[in-house]
Amino acid sequence: MMRFHNSIIRLGIVSFVFVLGITVGILSISQTIANSKSQNLSKYSVNKNGQTYGSSLYATSPSEEPDLIKAYGVDGTLGYVKKTDLYGDMPKKPEEAIARQQRNKVLGSTRTIPLYDETGEKVIGVFELQQGESTEVNK
C-alpha cells in the first residue's frame, strides 16, 4: 500500500512539473514574439516631426511599416515615400475597393508620388509605381 501511495505522489509531482514546463514555455514564446514586434517597430528612427522612417524590409504588414518608407527615386536618388502616398486612403465600401482594383489593373499604368528627405518635408525626387503583369496560380 505504501508503494502505491508513493507512486501516486510521484505521478502528481511529475504531472505538476510537466504542466509547469509547458506553461513557462508558452509564456516564453509569447514574450519572444511580443519583443520581436516591439523591436521591429523601435528599429525605425524618428524625425523632428515625430514620423518614423526607415526600411520596411522586416515589416510583416503595412501597419508595421514606418511613416516614411525608404525608396529609390526614378533617377536613383535615395529618399523616403510617405506611407499615406503609397497606399492612399483605404476604401470604406466594397464598391470603392472594386473600383480601385479596376483602376490598378491597367497593365503598364504608372503613378508617381513625391520622394522626400528624412524630415518628410523636402521633396527630393519622384518615386514611380508601375502596374506589372500578374498571373493567377491554381492549386
Note whether residue 25 is domain-resident.
yes
Residue 42, CA atoms < 13 Å, CB-side half-sphere: 6
- Structural domain containing residue 17: 1-42
Residue 136 in any domain: the answer is no
38 located within any domain: yes
- Residues 79, 12 share a domain: no
Provide mean pLDDT across the span 91-101.
83
Longest dimension (CA), the chain: 86
39: pLDDT strictly greater than 60? no
> Residues 55, 28: one domain?
no
Residue 73 lies in a domain: yes
State whether 109 and 80 are in the same domain: yes
How many domains does one find in the chain? 2
Bigger pLDDT: 4 vs 38: 4
> What's the predicted TM-score (pTM) here?
0.60
* Confidence band, pLDDT 50/70/90 cuts, at residue 63: confident
